[in-house]
């Protein structure tokens, strides 16, 4: 599979497949494709269907296979931002925010990841339930706004405002950190908690979480009496 990512702030991942190659996506992610791409919808077994239902994701996934020759398929972003291609190997799974998965090659497995610590899930802004990408292949994920990538060394830390963490390697540890100081909490405008991540591993931070964007829009919409 070859690919190119074009356009901003509404990018699209265009994938070029050899005959017999397959791409997997959430339902509704496909934007356009060549006529020889055959679609099959699958739930992947009751266990995976239940996990996706529990996490609020689509119950089924679409499998697109090039038939009789090379094929092309495009997956467009659903929100202004970035699309990143992530190489997944059995030794390097990644954890993403919910709804970030756009598409992948057939060797990538999408599953539910539960935050082990209550505080990280409840106050961290990323939620108890995230997405885990494992297996082997290329996965495309959506980033809200601009994507900033950092490689943390063993023990190196980064403090991130809640909701801004888009992706991390499974080796990265995530927990929450309370903002210190009464004045900082009351007047700082940054909320009560931040997300603290500790390396080793790669993290991707997004510049405009969709929840923040929705809040800004809500503030300027006139309220009906």
pLDDT score for 186: 42
> pLDDT tens digit string along 143-179?
999 999 999 999 999 999 888 999 999 999 998 876 6
Q: Which two tokens stand for residue 24?
A: 């997997």
Domains annotated for the chain, with CATH where assigned, are 2-218 (3.60.160.10)
Contact 113, 130 (CB under 8 A): yes
> pLDDT tens digit string along 74-98?
999 988 999 999 999 999 999 998 8
Which regions in the chain score pLDDT beneath 70?
A: 43-59, 115-128, 178-192, 223-225
Supply the pTM of this predicted model: 0.83
In DSSP notation, the chain reads: -EEEEE-SSS-EEEEEE-TT-EEEEETT-EEEE-TTEEEEEE--SHHHHHHHHHHT--S-EEEEEE-SS-EEEEEE-SSSEEEEEEEEBTTB-EEE-TT-EEEEETTEEEEEEE-SSHHHHHHSSS-SEEEEEEESEEEEEEEES-EEEEEEPTT-EEEEETT-EEEEETTSEEEEEEPPSHHHHHHSSS-SEEEEEESSEEEEEESS-HHHHHHHHHHHSPPP-
Q: Which two tokens stand for residue 83?
A: 């699309």
pLDDT score for 58: 62
pLDDT score for 185: 44
pLDDT score for 8: 81
pLDDT score for 115: 65
């Amino acid at each position: 599979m070859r690919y190119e990512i074009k356009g901003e702030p509404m990018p699209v991942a265009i994938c070029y497949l050899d005959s017999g190659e397959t791409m997997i996506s959430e339902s509704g992610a496909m934007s356009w494709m060549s006529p020889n791409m055959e679609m099959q919808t699958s739930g992947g077994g009751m266990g995976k269907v239940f996990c996706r239902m529990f996490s609020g994701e689509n119950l089924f996934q679409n499998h697109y296979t090039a038939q009789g020759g090379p094929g092309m398929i495009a997956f467009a972003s659903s929100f202004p931002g970035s699309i990143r291609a992530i190489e997944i190997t059995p030794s390097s799974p990644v954890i993403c925010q919910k709804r970030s998965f756009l598409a992948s090659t057939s060797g990538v497995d999408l599953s539910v990841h539960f935050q082990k610590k209550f505080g990280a899930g409840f106050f961290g802004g990323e939620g108890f339930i995230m997405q885990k990408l494992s297996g082997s292949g290329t996965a495309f994920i959506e980033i809200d706004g601009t994507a900033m990538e950092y490689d943390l060394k063993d023990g190196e830390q980064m403090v991130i405002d809640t909701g801004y963490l888009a992706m991390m390697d499974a080796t990265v540890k995530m927990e929450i950190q309370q903002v210190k100081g009464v004045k900082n909490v009351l007047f700082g405008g940054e909320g009560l908690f931040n997300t603290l991540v500790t390396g080793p591993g790669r993290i991707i931070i997004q510049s405009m979480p969709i929840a923040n964007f929705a809040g800004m829009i809500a503030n300027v919409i006139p309220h009906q009496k």
